Structure 1
Amino acid sequence: EVQFEPELFHNTIVCEKPNNHLNKFKGYMEHPDQTRTGFGCESLLLRGCTIRNTEMAVGIVIYAGHETKAMLNNSGPRYKRSKIERRMNIDIFFCIGILILMCLIGAVGHSIWNGTFEEHPPFDVPDANGSFLPSALGGFYMFLTMIILLQVLIPISLYVSIELVKLGQVFFLSNDLDLYDEETDLSIQCRALNIAEDLGQIQYIFSDKTGTLTENKMVFRRCTIMGSEYSHQENAKRLETPKELDSDGEEWTQYQCLSFPARWAQDPATMRSQKGAQPLRRSQSARVPIQGHYRQRSMGHRESSQPPVAFSSSIEKDVTPDKNLLTKVRDAALWLETLSDSRPSKASLSTTSSIADFFLALTICNSVMVSTTTEPRQRVTIKPSSKALGTSLEKIQQLFQKLKLSSLSQSFSSTAPSDTDLGESLGANVATTDSDERDDASVCSAGDSTDDGGYRSSMWDQGDILESGSGTSLEEALEAPATDLARPEFCYEAESPDEAALVHAAHAYSFTLVSRTPEQVTVRLPQGTCLTFSLLCTLGFDSVRKRMSVVVRHPLTGEIVVYTKGADSVIMDLLEDPACVPDINMEKKLRKIRARTQKHLDLYARDGLRTLCIAKKVVSEEDFRRWASFRREAEASLDNRDELLMETAQHLENQLTLLGATGIEDRLQEGVPDTIATLREAGIQLWVLTGDKQETAVNIAHSCRLLNQTDTVYTINTENQVR
C-alpha cells in the first residue's frame, strides 16, 4: 500500500477565491509533469463536518480562519418582527406625534396669553436682577413643561406588558396537550419569543411535499421490466397493516425464513396455494384501513424506541417479492453464470438478460455506502461456574426460539427440496457455497435484531433451518452454539431514501450490495456468487439533469456498461430511436416496450407513486477512452466547469436501452389530510411544491385533501423549459 509522504508532495493546487457558497467549489491540482486533476465540492470537507466509512484520509487546508465557508456564512440570524410588534411601533410614533403637537399648542398658547397683559401679572415672578422672561423663552419653557406633564401619552409600560403576555403564551403553548405528540414524546417548542403571536395571523402557507407532508420513508411498491408489469400484490397486502415487530417477530416470517434458493425451487402454483408464501401477521396487531394515499400509524411507542439509522426502518427494508418475477430472477441469475468473454449480442434484448441488468442497476447505480455493525449482536454464553437461576430461563428462551424455527421449517418440508436437489437445479455454486459467506449479505439497521422478520433474513443458510427441524432434541438444542442465532449484518446508508429503497428491493430478490469503494463495487447474486464491478466513473444526480449514471466494467463480459436511472420525462427522451434499428422485428419490439412502460408509468403516477426509469448502454473501449479524456479536461477547468461537465454527461447519456421502471410510495404523515382541511376551513391558502409527475401531484393533492373531488383543476403546462 502506497503511503503519502508530505515532504515529496510538490503539486500546485489552484482553486477559487473564498466565498460563502457551500455547494459550489471547483479547482484543480497541477502535477510536476504539468498534468491536471480536477476536483469539486465532493472533495471539500467543510468546517465542523465528520468523515465516516473512511479508514484513512489525506487532506490539505485550502481555507482557514475567517476565510472558511462556515465563517463566511456566519452572519448571525436575521431579526424577525411580528405583526403586532410592527403595529405597536407605528402606534408609538403616532403617540409621540400627538404629544409634540399638544406641547406645541401649549407653548404657543402660553406665549400669546402672556402677550395680552399690559403689565406683568403677579404670578410672573422676575429673576434676581428684576428682569422678566421674554415671551418666546417662556413659551419654550412651557413646551418642556408640557412634555413632562403629558409624557403619560407614550405607553412605555406597554412593551413590558407585551413581553409578559408573550411569556404566558409560550407557557400555555408548551403545556397544551392538543399540541403534544404521544408517539414521539415531544411537545411544541417555541424557539422565537417575538413571533409566537403571528401563528394566529397566517394567511398563506408554502409547503414542500417530501418530508414535510409525507413520512420520507420510501417504500418499494411495483416495477415494470421490458414492458411486463409486476404488481407485488403480496407486498401491497403486507403494507396495508402497519406491523410492530417484537421479539416474537419470526412468527410471521414463515415465508422469509426459507433461504432464497428454497423459495426458487417452489413451483409458482404451489407457492400461490400456500399460506407460507405470504408473511403471517400477528392477530394482536391493530389493523387500520388505508384511506387513499393516507396511512394511519399506531400510537404505540415500539417504533419510536428503535435507534435511528439513516433512511432505514422495517417498512422500508422489508419487501415481499412478486412470485412471477421471482421465477424469472432465478433464470436471470442462472443466465449470468453462463456469461463469458464472448459478450452477448446487444440485439437480443432477451427478458432474462434485461431482468439481470435491471437488478444490477438497482444495486450499482447509487451512492449507497455499506458498513457493518460495530458490535456483532451475539448471545453471551455463560460459563458453568457463573450459572445462576436466570441461566435456565435464558436457555429455555433460546430453546423455544429454536423450536419456532423448527416448526416453520417442518411446515415446508413437504414442498421444500433438499440441499442436493437445489444444488443440481442451481448449479455447483449453490452446493459448494459456504454458509457464512451467504450470511454476510443480510441487511440490518443499527439496533434492530435479525428477528425482525424482514428480508434481511432471506440469505440464511437453508441447511441450518432444515437441520434445526430434523428431530432436534432438547439437549441438542440447549447445547447448540448460541452464535447461530446472530448473523453478520450490513447497514445501508444513502444520501437519498429513494436509493435505499431500491437497494433493499434488489436485496429482496437476493441481488445484494456487499461493498463499495471508490474503485469498485461488489454484488452478491442469488446463488451466492460475488461479482466485483470496476467503477470507472460516477455521474451524480443533479436537479438539472434529473438522472444519475455509473460507468462500470462488467466482470463477466469485460464490457463497459453505463447504468442510468432518473425521471421518466428525461430518460424517455434519451432512449435509442427504434427507427435506427435495422431489424424490423426489433424495432417493433422496442416501440412496444416503450409504449407499455409509459402506460405503466402513467398508472404509477395516478396511484401517487414516485417513478424512476432504469436504462443501460454498452460503450466501446475507444469511445470511452475519448470520453474519459474529455471528462478529465472538464473537471480540471475553472471557467465554465459546470457547463463542460453537463456537456460530457450529455455525450455519454444518450442512445440508452430501456430496462424498466419502478414505483416507490412515500406515504402521508398522520393527520395531514385533517390538518390541511382545517387550515382551508380557517381561510388559510396552502401551496404545495413537488417535483413529482403531474399525475402524481394531483393524486397527492386529492389524498391530502388539498383538492376536493368537486374542485375544478386547471392545468397550466409549457412545452419550453423556463430558465
Structure 2
Amino acid sequence: MYRRLCRAGSVGGSGGNGTAVASLAVPASRLRVGDLVVVEKGQRVPADLVLLRTTERSGACFVRTDQLDGETDWKLKLAVPATQKLASDADVFSLGAQVYAERPQKDIHGFVGTFTRTDGSGGEESLDVENTLWANCVVASGSALGVVVYTGSETRSVMNNSQPRSKVGLLDMEINQLTKVLFCAVIGLTLVMMCLKGFSGPWYRYMFRFILLFSYIIPISLRVNLDMGKAFYSWSIQRDPEIAGTVVRSTTIPEELGRISYLLTDKTGTLTQNQMILKKLHLGTVSYGAETFDEVAAHLRTAHSQCQSLQTSEGGGTTPSPLRLTTTSPSTAPLSLGSAATSAKLRRSEVTRVQEAVKAVALCHNVTPVYEGHNGSISDSENTEESHETEADQHSRQNVVYQASSPDEVALVKWTEEVGLALVRRDLVSMHLRTPNGTVLSYTILQIFPFTSETKRMGVIVKEEQSGEIVFYLKGADVVMSGIVQYNDWLEEECDNMAREGFRTLVVAKKSLTEEQYMDFE
C-alpha cells in the first residue's frame, strides 16, 4: 500500500483558492499516470516516478536498486528544483506545470524529459535519470514525493523482465544419453531374441513381450532418486555453518559445484559482498598499515594543533594554513596509492604529508552523513559555521550513517573519521569536516565530476571558506591516474605490489588552483 496525494476540495467559500490535501493509501495496481505518490523510507517504489520533493532540504534522496541491476550500492537521486523549493507538498497542487517523458524503454540508466511551468513563474527544466525513481527501487533515506510517468508493463522493471533460463546440469544430460543407449540395447536384445525364436505365427506379440521384459534395464527410479539427492544436497549447503548465509536458488544443479575447475567473477564486489575496509596507506616514501593507523591519527592531531596555534598567535585565524600544499606544475600531484600518495618534488614533513593525504580522502567523494533520529541528514541545518560545530558535537560516532553510491567511498570516509577527520555535514553546495581538536572546516563545492565506467575516475573542486584556497581533488584507477599525475618512479611498482597482495588500489591526487585558473575553467 502506498500513499497517494489527492485534492480534497476547495475551502474558504466560492471565492477561496485554498486547497485541502489528503493522503490516501492505495494498492500499486490503482496508480495511474499523473498521480502524486508519497513513498516512505524503506518502501518499494510502486511505479516509475519523476521525483518532485524529498524531506531533504537539498532535494537529495538515496535509493537501493538491487532488484533492477543487482547492485547493492545506494544511488543518489535529485528532486526537480522548481518543486523542491516549494514550502510544502500541498503547494504542488497550486503549481501549473507539465512533465514530458520519452516513450517507454528498457534502459534504466537513461531518461530524457522536461519539466515546464505553465503558470508563467518559471521556464523549462531538463530531466535526466537522476530525477527519476524506477519501480522496485527502495527509498533508503527520508521520504519522496513523485509523479507517476510509467505504470504496469511500461515500467523499466517489467520491460527488463525475461523468462528464466532453464538450467540443466551435465549429470542430467549424461543420464539422458545413457537412457538412449539403454533403449537401443532393449531394441537390440529384442531383435536377437526374435531371431532365435523365429518370426512364425503372431511374432509381433512375442516382440512386445520381449520389449516389456527387457525394459527393466532402463532405471526408471534413477531420476527420482537423483532429484531427492539434489534436494538433500541443497538443504545441506544452506545449513553448512562454514558458509553461513548461502542461499540455493536452483536445486537442479548442486552437483555441478564439484565439477568447477575455474571460478570467474565480474568484479571484486561479488566476492567481498561490498564490505570494503581500508587496509593500507602509501605516501611514496612511507607506508601505513592497519596496525600503524594510530600513527596517522597522531600526525593528524599534531598538524591541526600546529595550525590552530599559528592562527591563534597571528590573531583572527584568517591566515591560510602554512601546511597546505601549493603546486605550480600543470600536472596533478599524486597524493595516494591505495588511499593517498605524496609529491616527490615537494619535500615536506611527514606530518604535513599525512594531513594533506587524509584531507584529500575526506573531501574527494559523494558521501552524505545522516544522523539517526533526524528526518533527514544534518545538512538540513541552515546555521552558521559556529552552530555547525555545536551541532556536530551533539552527535556521536555511533549514530551517524554514511550514504553513498559506492561502498568504497563509505569505507574511505569511515577511515578518515577513525583517524580524526570526520565528515559532519554535506549538501549539494558545501561540505564540513570536524578536525581532531573539535573545530569545523567548511568547504564550498564548486564542481563535481562523477565517476563513470569510461573515465574510471571521480573529481571535485572545493574552496576552503577560511583561506579561500581552491583545490582540485581527483581519484581513480591506477591505470588511468598514472597518465594524469606528475611522473614518479614508484607509483606503478607500488600498485603492482598491492595488487599482488590482493588489495583493490586507488590513487588520490590534488592540485591547488588560482582564482584565475578556475575562472578560465568556468
For the aligned pair, the TM-score class normalised by the smaller chain equals 0.5 to 0.7
Match of 2:264 in 1: 206
Match of 1:369 in 2: 368
Q: 1:507 to 1:80 in 2, by over 3 A?
A: same
Q: 1:99 to 1:15 in 2, by over 3 A?
A: same
Deviations along 1:471-506, one digit per CA (max 9) or x if unpaired, are xxxxxxxxxxxxxxxxxx423244434323322333
1:57-206 correspondence to structure 2 within 5 Å: 57-101=144-188, 112-114=199-201, 144=208, 146-170=210-234, 179-181=240-242, 186=244, 190-206=248-264
1:573-584 correspondence to structure 2 within 5 Å: 573-575=483-485
Give the deviation of 1:236 after TM superposition.
Answer: 1.4
Contact kept? 1:571, 1:613, Cα under 8 Å = yes
Match of 1:443 in 2: 397
1:2 is aligned with what amino acid? L
Match of 1:273 in 2: none
Looking at structure 1, the residues matched to 96 and 196 of structure 2 have their Cα atoms a distance apart, in angstroms, of 88
Give the deviation of 1:27 after TM superposition.
Answer: 1.8
Match of 1:303 in 2: none
Deviations along 1:228-267, one digit per CA (max 9) or x if unpaired, are 53536xx516xxxxxxxxxxxxxxxxxxxxxxxxxxxxxx
Contact kept? 2:104, 2:150, Cα under 8 Å = no
Deviations along 1:258-295, one digit per CA (max 9) or x if unpaired, are xxxxxxxxxxxxxxxxxxxxxxxxxxxxxxxxxxxxxx
Residue 544 of structure 1 aligns to a residue whose secondary structure is coil
Looking at structure 2, the residues matched to 492 and 319 of structure 1 have their Cα atoms a distance apart, in angstroms, of 23
2:257 is aligned with what amino acid? L
Give the deviation of 1:94 after TM superposition.
Answer: 2.2
Q: 1:496 to 1:433 in 2, by over 3 A?
A: closer
Deviations along 1:525-556, one digit per CA (max 9) or x if unpaired, are 34433344333443222333221112334323
Deviations along 1:193-239, one digit per CA (max 9) or x if unpaired, are 32222333333333578456668441343342xx553536xx516xx
1:619-638 correspondence to structure 2 within 5 Å: none
Give the deviation of 1:595 after TM superposition.
Answer: 4.3
1:367 is aligned with what amino acid? N
Q: 1:45 to 1:92 in 2, by over 3 A?
A: same
Residue 374 of structure 1 aligns to a residue whose secondary structure is coil
Task: Name the structure, 1 or 2, with higher relative contact order (CA <8 Å, separation 6+).
Answer: 1
Contact kept? 2:116, 2:123, Cα under 8 Å = yes
1:180 is aligned with what amino acid? P
Give the deviation of 1:7 after TM superposition.
Answer: 5.5
Looking at structure 2, the residues matched to 198 and 78 of structure 1 have their Cα atoms a distance apart, in angstroms, of 17
Which residue of 282, 288, 294 maps to 1:231? 288
| Residue 47, structure 1, aligned to residue 135, structure 2 | yes
Match of 1:221 in 2: 280
Deviations along 1:568-625, one digit per CA (max 9) or x if unpaired, are 332231136xxxxxxxxxxxxxx6xx44666765665566544322223456778767
Identity of aligned residues (%): 26
Contact kept? 1:221, 1:231, Cα under 8 Å = yes
Give the deviation of 1:361 after TM superposition.
Answer: 2.5
Residue 611 of structure 1 aligns to a residue whose secondary structure is coil
- Number of aligned pairs? 394
RMSD over equivalenced CA pairs, Å: 4.4
Give the deviation of 1:87 after TM superposition.
Answer: 1.0
Q: 1:335 to 1:173 in 2, by over 3 A?
A: same
Residue 286 of structure 2 aligns to a residue whose secondary structure is strand
Match of 1:638 in 2: none
Looking at structure 1, the residues matched to 102 and 388 of structure 2 have their Cα atoms a distance apart, in angstroms, of 50
What TM-score results when the alignment is normalised by the length of structure 1?
0.46
Q: 1:357 to 1:62 in 2, by over 3 A?
A: farther
Match of 2:126 in 1: 37
1:233-248 correspondence to structure 2 within 5 Å: 236=291
Match of 2:86 in 1: 2
2:415 is aligned with what amino acid? A
Q: 1:160 to 1:498 in 2, by over 3 A?
A: closer
Contact kept? 1:566, 1:612, Cα under 8 Å = yes
| Residue 522, structure 1, aligned to residue 502, structure 2 | no
Looking at structure 2, the residues matched to 172 and 608 of structure 1 have their Cα atoms a distance apart, in angstroms, of 31
Unaligned stretches of 5+ in structure 2? Answer: 1-84, 312-316, 330-345, 375-385
Match of 2:24 in 1: none
1:163 is aligned with what amino acid? D
Q: 1:62 to 1:187 in 2, by over 3 A?
A: closer
What TM-score results when the alignment is normalised by the length of structure 2?
0.61
Looking at structure 1, the residues matched to 295 and 200 of structure 2 have their Cα atoms a distance apart, in angstroms, of 98
1:199 is aligned with what amino acid? L
Contact kept? 2:368, 2:403, Cα under 8 Å = yes
Q: 1:323 to 1:344 in 2, by over 3 A?
A: closer
Residue 161 of structure 1 aligns to a residue whose secondary structure is helix
Deviations along 1:22-64, one digit per CA (max 9) or x if unpaired, are 4x22324264687552523x4432322222333x534233332
Q: 1:155 to 1:356 in 2, by over 3 A?
A: closer
Q: 1:92 to 1:230 in 2, by over 3 A?
A: closer
Looking at structure 2, the residues matched to 9 and 102 of structure 1 have their Cα atoms a distance apart, in angstroms, of 86
Q: 1:113 to 1:549 in 2, by over 3 A?
A: same
| Residue 547, structure 1, aligned to residue 441, structure 2 | no
Deviations along 1:165-200, one digit per CA (max 9) or x if unpaired, are 43454566666xxx423xx9x486655332222333
Residue 193 of structure 1 aligns to a residue whose secondary structure is coil
Residue 152 of structure 1 aligns to a residue whose secondary structure is helix
1:197 is aligned with what amino acid? E
1:39 is aligned with what amino acid? D
Contact kept? 2:424, 2:434, Cα under 8 Å = yes
Match of 2:10 in 1: none
Larger of the two Rg values belongs to structure? 1
| Residue 503, structure 1, aligned to residue 413, structure 2 | yes
1:278-427 correspondence to structure 2 within 5 Å: 321=296, 323-324=298-299, 326-332=301-307, 337-339=317-319, 347=328, 351=348, 357-374=356-373
Contact kept? 1:511, 1:523, Cα under 8 Å = yes
Which structure has the highest helix share of the two? Answer: 1
Q: 1:565 to 1:440 in 2, by over 3 A?
A: farther
Q: 1:529 to 1:626 in 2, by over 3 A?
A: same
Residue 225 of structure 2 aligns to a residue whose secondary structure is helix
Give the deviation of 1:9 after TM superposition.
Answer: 4.6
Q: 1:360 to 1:168 in 2, by over 3 A?
A: closer
